[in-house]
Amino acid sequence: MLARSQAESNQLTDANENSRFLPGVSFPSGLRVSSDISQVITSSDLIIIAVPSNSFRSNVSLIKPFLSKGIPVLSATKGLEIGSNKRMSEILLDELHDELHECVCVLSGPNLAKEIIAGSPASAVVASEYPDSAEAAQDILTSATFRAYVSRDVVGVELAGALKNVIALGAGFCDGLAIGDNAKGAFITRGLAEMSRLGVALGAQPVTFAGLAGIGDIIATCSSSLSRNHYVGEQLAMGRTLAQISAHMDNVAEGVNTTKAAYALSKYMNVEMPIVSVTYNVLFEGLLPKDAVSRLMERPVGFEQ
Amino acid sequence: MLARSQAESNQLTDANENSRFLPGVSFPSGLRVSSDISQVITSSDLIIIAVPSNSFRSNVSLIKPFLSKGIPVLSATKGLEIGSNKRMSEILLDELHDELHECVCVLSGPNLAKEIIAGSPASAVVASEYPDSAEAAQDILTSATFRAYVSRDVVGVELAGALKNVIALGAGFCDGLAIGDNAKGAFITRGLAEMSRLGVALGAQPVTFAGLAGIGDIIATCSSSLSRNHYVGEQLAMGRTLAQISAHMDNVAEGVNTTKAAYALSKYMNVEMPIVSVTYNVLFEGLLPKDAVSRLMERPVGFEQ
């Protein structure tokens, strides 16, 4: 595991745990921590980048001199870059030399970290334009409790993972307003439909949104009290402001930034995304969650598709 | 509301509530109860049949002499007929005179009854081969809190509503075994995929399974403690037998019979349905839910689709 500094590396090694994000969970015995980028990267068979989306590009630029052909570079980050609205694999393609493009992989799926740490069974999708890279990552990631499926739909897998956080915020509104499971089921269904519409406009396969990275992740996220995005939505619905909520969270809720990027992308691509729009209005323009839900309920009915 | 006998009609009218299934909830002021089939059917603008699947055919044969063209007949039953494995609209087509076939409609979606009674917002899909009938039913059903969308995919809407009860039983296994939300998300995703496979083989549109009658209903059912099917699955996972559980339930869990019918249909159509299979094994052949879940987890990984 690559630490950002010698001091952080020492602290992590001495504590034998990540005291900030996972207090009380000891590192597995095989894990070694170092801040020596060259040493960490060149001794690894698989590079997993799991940092917030807003520091993804800077982290990639730090490690890129040490990457080499044949070693997959896998993004586990579920978000979009603010400003460019790019997916994490697009950042990798921007930053990495052409001959390393075949290393680029992405991972997404219903993977609440605390459950994986507890040894509960989980599954995910590894996508790459290059099947050899996806299969190499699959081989390393698959275990008795973790199943990795491969896919070639990089755009779909990444967008599903990122956009589901926006839907989780909205599902949090539903739970915070206590409007019931019928409404929440309808809300998530409409959310998935608009994610899929944007994805298809950007080149994704619709079937990906019906898979683990889409429905699977949405169900896990929206039914779990472990989701930060769902928590933020719920707290907003209960009357707190984004600033108040953020002040008490150690970790950014990716859905907040992703809402901004998804809102921009939907305008740019001219794709109707009513849930993304009202979530944007709630987060950044003061719309009340109850008015957001009413606005969605008042849309005209007609044919379902 | 059509009661089965004069005595039942009197009892319901006197109590002004359905004491057996909805104690404490008064009937709306406009509701009238009668056991006079002719009078009830001929004075109605929309006939809604909402009886268990195993008494659907006998109920239809009682009312059919009094039906007339132009009045939609809508099935709200989510199940398949044991033996014939037919959908409820197929029973209607069997039983009704050809000139009434255009009246046949079906309703499905995330509609937990107790939430609708409480006035919480909900939505559903009305499907018919005949858009005029679906739209007539839609007009009558739509209210400030209930949104009805129309569809022409009768096969898809009915199969989604029926098969989701099998998946709810299985999701109950996951919750009863406390294996976590990651596994539950994956389980429901795979369940939806196999429902969709069978549906497509039988002529349904895949997009219906991504809509309110599919994903929407599954999410509501599987996240709710109000679902009988989910309850049965959970109790089985906690070690009780189907006989023990059924003895304490006033209402049949449709998913139990639907599992039998879906298992037969999957064999007949040669469609692989691993979740239906293991659920069948648990319900009728003594497989333990924990072994059912392990059996699903041990299937080979590869491409997601």
Q: Tell whether A142 lies on the interface with B, counting CB pairs under 8 A.
A: yes
Per-window interface: B 76-105 vs A, CB < 8 A: none
- pLDDT digits over A121-136, tens only? 999 999 999 999 999 9
Q: Nearest residue of B to residue A293 by CA position?
A: B121
The alpha carbon dihedral of B13, B18, B23, B29 has a sign of: negative
Shortest CA distance to B125 belongs to which of B154, B93, B101, B163?
B154
Is B207 part of the contact surface with chain A (CB cutoff 8 Å)? Answer: yes
Nearest by CB: A216 against B138, B149, B186: B186
Q: Is B171 helix (H, G, I), strand (E, B) or coil?
A: helix
Q: In terms of Cα–Cα distance, which of B221, B135, B305 is closest to A180?
A: B221
As given in the structure block, the two tokens for residue A120 are 């509960």
Cβ neighbours for A55, distance < 8 A, ≥ 6 positions apart = none
Alpha carbon distance B192, A164 (integer Å): 18
Residue A305: is its pLDDT beyond 60? no
| A147 vs B contacts (CB less than 8 Å) | 186, 297, 301
Chain A residues close to B212, C-beta within 8 Å: 185-186, 189, 304
CB-based contact, A146 to chain B, within 8 Å = no
Characterize the bridge pairing of strands B104-108 and A73-75: unpaired
Closest of A168, A171, A281, A164 to residue A213, by C-alpha: A164
Among candidates A230, A278, A228, A266, which has minimal Cα distance to A249? A228
* pLDDT tens, residue by residue, B141-159: 999 889 999 999 999 999 9
Cα separations (Å) of B46 from A26, A178, A253, B104?
Answer: 63, 32, 48, 11
- The beta strands (E) that lie in chain A are given as 47-49, 73-75, 104-108, 122-127, 146-151
Question: How far apart are the C-alpha atoms of B87 and B78, rounded to whole Å?
Answer: 9
**Structural contact between residues B189 and A211, judged by C-beta atoms closer than 8 angstroms:** yes
Q: Report the residue from B181, B224, B304 with minimal CB separation from A110.
A: B181
Cβ–Cβ contact B226 with A under 8 A: yes
- ipTM for this model: 0.91
Residues B2/B32, Cβ–Cβ less than 8 Å: no
Q: What is the pLDDT of residue B98?
A: 97
| Interchain pair B115, A182: CB under 8 A | yes
Residue with tokens 């895949």: B206
Closest residue to B219, CB basis, from A111, A188, A224: A188
Query: What residues in B contact A207, CB-CB < 8 Å?
Result: 305
Q: In chain A, what is the greatest distance between 2 CA atoms, to the nearest angstrom?
A: 62
Q: Chain A contact for B122, CB < 8 A?
A: yes
Lowest mean pLDDT among A31-35, A49-53, B21-25, B31-35: B21-25
A182 to B112: CB separation less than 8 angstroms, yes or no: yes
Distance of CA A217 to the CA centre of its chain: 9
B83-128 pLDDT tens trace: 999 999 999 999 999 999 999 999 999 999 889 999 999 999 999 9
Q: Does A17 touch chain B (CB under 8 A)?
A: no
Which residues 36-65 of B have a C-beta within 8 angstroms of A?
none
- The parts of chain B modelled with pLDDT lower than 70 are 224-225, 250-252, 300-305
Element (H, E) at A19: none
User: Which two tokens mark B67?
Assistant: 């039906």
Q: Pick from B167, B68, B164, B176: which is nearest to B109 by CA? A: B164
pLDDT of amino acid A221: 86
Beta carbons of A185 and B121 less than 8 Å apart: no
Token couple for A277: 């729009």
pLDDT digit string (tens) for A210-262?
A: 999 999 999 998 876 667 888 888 899 988 888 888 887 766 678 899 999 99
A98: how many CB neighbours lie within 10 A of its CB?
7
Active site residue B164: yes
The CB density around residue B145, as the number of other CB atoms within 10 Å, is 17
Residues of A in contact with B148 (CB under 8 A): 301
Taking CA atoms, what residue in B is nearest to A188?
A: B216
Give the nearest partner residue to A304 out of B125, B186, B302, using CB atoms: B125
Angle at B265 between CA B263 and CA B266, to 5 degrees: 65
What is the rounded (10 degree) CA torsion for B235, B237, B240, B242? 80
* pLDDT value of residue A67: 97
Q: Do B183 and A302 touch (CB under 8 A)?
A: no
3-state helix, strand, coil in chain A (%, to 5): 55, 10, 35
